[in-house]
Structure 1
Amino acid sequence: MGKLFGLIGHPVGHSMSPFMHNDQFANLGIDGHYHAFDVHPKDLEAAIQGIRVLGISGFNITIPHKVNVIQYLDEVDEEAKQIGAVNTVVNKNGKLIGYNTDGKGFVVSLMQLAGDSVLHKKMLLVGAGGAARGIYITLARLGVQHIDIANRTVEKANELIASCSFPITSNALSIIEAEKNLFNYEIIINTTSVGMSPQTGMIPIDLKNMKAGTILSDIIYNPIETKWLKLGRSLGGVVQNGVGMFVGQGALAFELWTGQKPDFKGMEKIVRTQLGGN
C-alpha cells in the first residue's frame, strides 16, 4: 500500500487539491494518494489522533482549522508560528510538524507576474483575516517596504500590523479611506472572500481611483475571474486570480511531503481545467 496524504477542512467538497496532487503522484511515479476529509470543528482533535494512528504521511489544513490545529501538533515551523496558522503538516517518523505555505505560495505567484521589483512597490492589502496574515507576514519577512491594510474593522488591521516583528511601514485604513487614495498603490491584493462563488456579484473595494497599470491580485480562484478583476481590467489594471497562489502553496506542500519538486505548470493546468478555465 502506498502513502496516504490528505486535506482536513469543513467543507471540502469544492477542493481542487485531490485532482492537483493525485495527478502529480501519477506523473512522478510516486505511490501515493491524496483524499479530502470533511472534519467538523468538534471532531478536529479526534481527526488528528486518527492521522497519527493511521500513519498518514502528510496533510493540508484549510478553513476553519488553520489556527486550532496548532495545539494538536508536536512542532510548528518558525514562520508558521509568526503567522499564527498552519496549512501543511508533515508526519516525520510519527512527529507531526506544522508549516504555512500560503504566504510563500502567494509570493511565488506574484513574483511570476511582477518579478523581484515587488519588494519596492507600495502595496495595499484588502482584508485582515487569516489569509491576509499569511501574505502580510511573508511579504514583510521578504523585505517589502510598504504595505497598508484596509479592512471593514480598522482595529483588526491595526492588530495585524502590531503583530509583525519585521521592519515595515504600514497604515491601517478603513475601506472608504483606502478607496479615496487608491492611486497611491502599485499593487492591490484582495485577501477576502468577497466575490467568491456563489456570491459573485460583490466587490471588496471600489477601483475608480486606481491608476492604470496597477497590479490587482485576487486570492479567489472560483470564479476564475471575479467581478472585481473584470472591473480592474476594464480600468487598465494588470489582473491576477488566485489559481497561482493555490497552486503555489500546494507545490510547496508537495515538496515538503515528498522531497520532490512537482510540475507547477502541470498543477496549474489541471486546476484550470477542473474550473472550466484556460
Structure 2
Amino acid sequence: MTEQTPAVPLITGTTKLFGVIAHPSAHVRAPMVFNERFVAEQRDHLMIPIDATPASLVTVMDGLRAMENFGGLTITIPHKVPIAQMCDELGEAARVCGAVNAVRFGEDGRLYGDIFDGAGFVAGLALKGHDIAGKRVLMMGAGGAARAIAVALCQADVGEIAIANRTRDKAQNLVDAMVQGAGYTQAHVLDNMAEAALEAARDVDVIINTTSLGLHAGDALPVALGTVRPDTLIADIIMVPERTEWLALAEDKGLPTHYGRHMLDCQLELIGRFIGALD
C-alpha cells in the first residue's frame, strides 16, 4: 500500500502567513495542527516555524511586523517574556503573567499579546461539563501556567483559590500580581505546601496540578488524595503522559478527573481566533 501524502495548503499570492516562534524550533507542533485545519477548511493560510535566537528576536519581530500579509504568532520558549515586553497592548492574563504565547499585528501597526494557558484550561473544563463558578479550588504550583490559570479561574467567577507552592514567595508574588494588577482577591497562599495542601484538600471542589510532578514515573504526588471528598475534581495540566500516576490513582478511587489535553485543544482554538487564523 502506498503511503498517503498529507495534504498541505496551496500557496498563492494572497496567502496569509502565520508563525510559531521558538529557539530551537524543531519541537514545535503548531504548524502541523493549524495547517491541517487550514486545508480542511480551505483557508488561504499557512503557518510556518520561525527559529529566532534571543539576540536576533527584535530584528525578526520588526521584519514580521513590516510584512503586509503576516497575521500573528504563537510563541514558545524562550520568547514568551521578551515578546510580552515588546507588545503595545497586553490582555489581562498576560499582564499578570508578564508573558505571552500569542501575538497579532494590528492594522494600526500595534502589537497585541495575550497568554491562553488559563483560558484554554477553563474552556476545557466547560467542554467536559465542569462549571467552576463559585467553586473552591486548590492549585498546586505558581509557575507560568499557574499564573494564567489563576487569572482565568477568577474571570470565570471561581469562589476561592488556595495556592500551594514549594517556594512560598513565588506563590505570594502571584497573589500580589492578581490583586494589584487585576483586582482579583479570591486567591490566597498556603504557608506550607505539603501539610497545608493536605489539609486544604479535605474540603475543596477542584484540585489542579500545575507543577511538573507526574512527568516522570515515580514522581511524588502533587498532593495525597486519601482525605479528599468523593466529588472533588482532580485536574492535571501535564500532557505526556496523558494519564499521570496521580490521575490514575484518582480514577482508582472513583474520583472525577480532568486531563491536560483538554487545555491544549481548547487553547489552540482560542489562539487561532486571537491571531486571526480561525474564525
- Do the two structures share a fold, i.e. TM-score over 0.5? yes
Are the structure 2 counterparts of residues 167 and 39 from structure 1 closer, same or farther at C-alpha, using a change threshold of 3 Å?
A: same
- Hey, what's the Cα distance between the residues in 1 that align with 2:48 and 2:144? 24
For residues 108-140 of structure 1, give each alpha carbon's deviation from its aligned partner in whole angstroms, at most 9, with x where no partner exists: 001223433x11221011110110000101211
Does the CA-based 8 Å contact 2:206-2:232 persist in structure 1? yes
Task: Give the one of 261, 273, 276 matched to 1:243.
Answer: 261
**SS of equivalent to 2:188:** coil
- Hey, what's the Cα distance between the residues in 2 that align with 1:211 and 1:11? 44
- Matched with 2:203 is 184
- Matched with 2:235 is 217
- Hey, what's the Cα distance between the residues in 2 that align with 1:131 and 1:19? 23
Are the structure 2 counterparts of residues 46 and 259 from structure 1 closer, same or farther at C-alpha, using a change threshold of 3 Å?
A: closer
Does the CA-based 8 Å contact 1:181-1:209 persist in structure 2? no
- Hey, what's the Cα distance between the residues in 1 that align with 2:24 and 2:227? 37
Aligned partner of 1:226: which letter?
A: T
Aligned partner of 1:102: which letter?
A: D
Report the Cα offset of residue 54 of structure 1: 4.3
Are the structure 2 counterparts of residues 27 and 167 from structure 1 closer, same or farther at C-alpha, using a change threshold of 3 Å?
A: same
**SS of equivalent to 1:207:** coil
CA RMSD, 1 decimal: 2.2
Does the CA-based 8 Å contact 1:148-1:173 persist in structure 2? no
Does the CA-based 8 Å contact 1:7-1:60 persist in structure 2? yes
Matches within 5 A, 1:148-227: 148-164=162-178, 165-177=183-195, 178-196=197-215, 199-202=216-219, 203-227=221-245
- Hey, what's the Cα distance between the residues in 2 that align with 1:147 and 1:168? 6
- Hey, what's the Cα distance between the residues in 1 that align with 2:56 and 2:222? 33
Alignment pair present for 1:252 and 2:270: yes
- Hey, what's the Cα distance between the residues in 2 that align with 1:185 and 1:247? 26
Task: Give the one of 20, 23, 44 matched to 1:7.
Answer: 20
Which stretch of structure 1 is more off in the superposition, 139-148 or 123-132?
Answer: 139-148
- Runs of 4+ aligned residues of structure 1 deviating over 6 Å after TM superposition are none
- Matched with 2:113 is 98
**SS of equivalent to 1:170:** strand
Report the Cα offset of residue 260 of structure 1: 4.0
Alignment pair present for 1:20 and 2:33: yes
Alignment pair present for 1:61 and 2:91: no
Alignment pair present for 1:77 and 2:91: yes
In the superposition, the TM-score normalised over structure 2's length comes to: 0.83
More helix by share: 1
Q: Percent identity?
A: 36
Are the structure 2 counterparts of residues 39 and 200 from structure 1 closer, same or farther at C-alpha, using a change threshold of 3 Å?
A: farther
Unaligned stretches of 5+ in structure 2? 1-11
Unaligned stretches of 5+ in structure 1? 262-278
- Hey, what's the Cα distance between the residues in 2 that align with 1:11 and 1:213? 43
- Matched with 1:274 is none
Aligned partner of 1:176: which letter?
A: A
In the superposition, the TM-score normalised over structure 1's length comes to: 0.84
Which stretch of structure 1 is more off in the superposition, 162-171 or 218-227?
Answer: 162-171
Are the structure 2 counterparts of residues 36 and 162 from structure 1 closer, same or farther at C-alpha, using a change threshold of 3 Å?
A: same
For residues 180-226 of structure 1, give each alpha carbon's deviation from its aligned partner in whole angstroms, at most 9, with x where no partner exists: 44222221111122323xx3432433333333232111111122212
For residues 127-167 of structure 1, give each alpha carbon's deviation from its aligned partner in whole angstroms, at most 9, with x where no partner exists: 10110000101211332110100100112111111211223
- Hey, what's the Cα distance between the residues in 1 that align with 2:251 and 2:237? 16
- Matched with 2:160 is 146
Rg (Cα) greater in structure:
2
Aligned residue pairs: how many?
258
Does the CA-based 8 Å contact 1:9-1:61 persist in structure 2? yes
